[in-house]
Amino acid sequence: MYLTKSPLLLKWYYPSLTWNKPRDRKVIYLTFDDGPIPDVTDFALKTLKSFNAKATFFCIGDNIRKHPDIFNQIKNDGHSIGNHTFNHLKGWKTPDEIYLKNFQMCQEQTATNLFRPPYGRIKKSQIRSIRAAHPELQIIMWDVLSGDFDINLSPEKCCKNVLQNTRNGSIIVFHDSLKAFDRMRYALPKVLAHFSNAGYHFEKL
Q: Of 79, 143, 175, 176, which is the active-site residue?
A: 175
Closest CA to 48 of 199, 198, 184: 184
Q: Determine the Cα–Cα distance for residues 80 and 89; give it in Å rounded to an integer.
A: 21
Please give the angle made by the CA atoms of 199, 26 and 164, to the nearest 5 degrees: 85
Judged on CB neighbours under 10 Å (0-12, 13-18, 19+), 184 is: buried
Residue 175 annotated as catalytic: yes
With beta carbons less than 8 A apart as the criterion, state whether 58 and 89 touch.
Answer: no
Q: Of 33, 34, 143, 176, which is the active-site residue?
A: 33
Residue 134 annotated as catalytic: no
Catalytic site residues? Answer: 33, 175
